[in-house]
Structure 1
Amino acid sequence: MPNPRKLLFPFSVLYHVVTGLRNKLYDKGILNSVSYDLPVIGVGNLNMGGTGKSPMIEYLLKMLHKDFKVASLSRGYKRESKGFQLVETDQPAARAGDEPLQFKNKFPEVTVAVDADRREGIRELQKFSPDVILLDDAFQHRKVKPGFYILLTAYGDLYTDDLLLPAGNLRESSAGAERADIIIVTKCPSDLSSEDMKKIREKIKPGSQQDLFFTSINYSDKVYSHKDERLLEDVSVAEYCLVTGIANPKPLLEYLEAMGISPEHFKFPDHHNFSEKEIQKLQQLPKKILTTEKDFMRLKDRIRNEQLYYLPIEMEFLNDRKAKFEKRILDFINKK
């Protein structure tokens, strides 16, 4: 079936002119982009949502937090609070944002903050003397210039195959990828062949100073509640339903189906703020609720503990390239 959004292509041309002019003004220094003496790593994408930014930030936190004083800064999408906000483990997701709250709960020793104004957020974080700052979803925030850019694009939805908004999902032209130091194709099949990797490389055409990596999603073999854990293989359709509020639940559904689990699925938009009416309906379900870790952050204080479980995920590098990726990150940090 033809994509009706392609009828909006003339508006995409206009969008391209506006975003292209903005980027050119930053590139020429006419608009000011602030850089910093300390290492700042920006993680982002060109497409709208669903590329795996949270698993990437978590990978970096896990990799760095034992040897460096790390801070992370997000905008806290759909949070109810305003301005700069330090995130604490016991805060509601409505105040901190679901993903920053997830980071803080996994890495309580890390300074996690939210601020839509990245310059102001970094200024406040510098008061805590971090060794390195991770910027979440920061590729289009040109007012700040990270010393190192990681660009994510999802397998099966490459930015090279997409159109600009509103006909497609690109926030800016694919030429913006030139700013990246590393490009990562996320959510790949774990058995992605070398031939398929080569085809994708030919599409992306990374520059001579850019490294291209491929990653997959590694699901836990256990599901967790506040105080309990169970083997995923013990999850049954009769006992559990699935609730998601993420951009693309398809990989999760495919994984559960491969495990022989096809639960009733209640799908909500990405970062969905559940209403009281929706919470009441979920509480009345005669089954336990299985959800993502991000959704768990929004539901854990509103659904009774014994009813709510989540399935953690991690990002995994393919083709034995993990060491190469980590070396590039550490070389940048140590050089700064």
Structure 2
Amino acid sequence: MGMEQMLRPLTPAYSAAVRARAAAYRRGLLRTVRLPRPVISVGNLTFGGTGKTPTVVALVRDLARRGRRPAVLTRGYGRKAKEPVLLAGPDALAPVERAGDEPLEMARRLPGVPIAVDADRVRGGRTAIGAGADVLVLDDGFQHLRVERDLDLLLVDAGDPFGGHALPPRGRLREPLSAMARASAVLVTKLGPKTAELSSIAHVVQLYAPDVPVLGARLEPVRVLTPDGPEPPAILEGRTVMAFAGVGRPEAFEELLRELGAEVAAARWFPDHHHHTARDLRRIRRLARRHGAVPVTTAKDAVKLPADHGVWVVEVEMVPVDGSWDPLWELVPGIVP
């Protein structure tokens, strides 16, 4: 008997526990907290990568362009330290073991924006407000029901939208699909060039959440960091690369490299949030040399490498298919000037 078959009887209990917890918050049996600043939650319904970090980066940048002073509240999943950390740009970074990989990536890409790393998001929110924030972006917040939010954005990956339509162990859903009804909006991420997936995914969303608007976004590369400095993504065209990453859905990274015209000669995937060791890096370099390839990874992985790693790093950003985040901000009047 396989592990999935052994664990399958636990699925109903897991589903019941998830539903009971959500109902307890909805009925006021578990206390929620209203922070004294608007809160925008960005989360997902599945285990694995849906593009939360690139979406948070894009929304924070858009809010800042519009004159707001945003901050990010994040748990810092996978970090070894327990104490709260406040990051504020590349000159105030903490070790990855203390802050976590995703908070460090956000801090590097959002200079000057407070990143409050704290498992207690209420306390983190108060810390961010004390640092001058006038709007709070709650990272991975869809299941963090303790913090009340003004906008609840649910991300769905176009390449694997509904986690096999099942809870663990058969699928990757963190909650039943009916939980989509809690969202203010669903953002379908990682859409292809023709956005063909958007209508079919929107149809499924409407079955469970008929009043929730469905928006779309693409994951677009913005630059490639090389040992000689930043380059446009076109530098990958025709280039033989060896890809490696420790992210939720690494095959999406390989697809992105191929779309940019790179020849992926080899790939090495690690578990999500993997902390790359010196031994890992030696093996990666050896494999790259064997194929005459350039080692290339994600921005999330790069923060866990030594400063002289010599690896090419692809930075991406979530871009709305309509060219503007206005349809999202219009759901919460007053969130932007």
- State TM-score, norm by structure 2: 0.87
* 1:120 pairs with 2:113: no
Residue 313 to residue 121, structure 1, CA distance change in 2 (3 Å): same
Match of residue 41 from structure 1: 40
CA distance in 2 between partners of 1:154 and 1:315 (Å):
12
**Does the 8 Å CA contact 2:96/2:304 hold for their aligned counterparts?**
yes
**Does the 8 Å CA contact 2:52/2:155 hold for their aligned counterparts?**
yes
CA distance in 1 between partners of 2:254 and 2:323 (Å):
27
**Does the 8 Å CA contact 1:162/1:168 hold for their aligned counterparts?**
yes
CA distance in 1 between partners of 2:262 and 2:128 (Å):
46
**Does the 8 Å CA contact 1:190/1:318 hold for their aligned counterparts?**
no
Superposed CA offset, 1:128-152 (max 9, x none): 2311011100111122222210001
CA distance in 2 between partners of 1:255 and 1:270 (Å):
18
The 10-residue stretch of structure 1 (99-108 or 252-261) with the greater mean CA deviation from structure 2: 252-261
SS at match of 1:299: coil
Shift of 1:233: 4.4
Q: 2:274 aligns with which of 257, 267, 272?
A: 272
Shift of 1:239: 6.2
Q: 2:302 aligns with which of 296, 299, 306?
A: 296
- Aligned-residue Cα RMSD (Å) equals 2.6
**Does the 8 Å CA contact 2:254/2:264 hold for their aligned counterparts?**
yes
CA distance in 1 between partners of 2:8 and 2:217 (Å):
32
Superposed CA offset, 1:45-70 (max 9, x none): 11012111011101111101231111
CA distance in 2 between partners of 1:191 and 1:108 (Å):
33
CA distance in 1 between partners of 2:107 and 2:226 (Å):
17
The 5 Å alignment of 1:153-232 reads 153-159=156-162, 161-193=164-196, 196-205=197-206, 207=209, 209-220=211-222, 222-225=223-226, 227-232=228-233
Long gaps (5+) in structure 1 = none
Match of residue 77 from structure 2: 77
* 1:148 pairs with 2:159: no
The 5 Å alignment of 1:47-126 reads 47-66=46-65, 67-88=67-88, 89=90, 90-126=93-129
**Does the 8 Å CA contact 2:238/2:262 hold for their aligned counterparts?**
no
Residue 132 to residue 6, structure 1, CA distance change in 2 (3 Å): farther
**Does the 8 Å CA contact 1:237/1:262 hold for their aligned counterparts?**
no
CA distance in 1 between partners of 2:73 and 2:203 (Å):
33
Tell me the percent identity.
28
Superposed CA offset, 1:29-55 (max 9, x none): 011111223101111011012111011
**Does the 8 Å CA contact 1:160/1:174 hold for their aligned counterparts?**
no
The 10-residue stretch of structure 1 (274-283 or 95-104) with the greater mean CA deviation from structure 2: 274-283
Shift of 1:199: 2.6
Residue 311 to residue 334, structure 1, CA distance change in 2 (3 Å): closer
**Does the 8 Å CA contact 2:180/2:209 hold for their aligned counterparts?**
no
Residue 157 to residue 58, structure 1, CA distance change in 2 (3 Å): same
The 10-residue stretch of structure 1 (290-299 or 209-218) with the greater mean CA deviation from structure 2: 209-218
The 10-residue stretch of structure 1 (102-111 or 279-288) with the greater mean CA deviation from structure 2: 279-288
CA distance in 2 between partners of 1:157 and 1:239 (Å):
27
SS at match of 1:91: coil
CA distance in 1 between partners of 2:12 and 2:160 (Å):
21
Shift of 1:5: 3.5
CA distance in 2 between partners of 1:231 and 1:160 (Å):
33
**Does the 8 Å CA contact 1:223/1:312 hold for their aligned counterparts?**
yes
Match of residue 14 from structure 2: 15
SS at match of 1:109: coil
SS at match of 2:330: helix
Shift of 1:81: 1.9
Long gaps (5+) in structure 2 = none
* 1:249 pairs with 2:236: no
**Does the 8 Å CA contact 2:45/2:142 hold for their aligned counterparts?**
yes
Shift of 1:320: 5.4
CA distance in 2 between partners of 1:208 and 1:332 (Å):
25
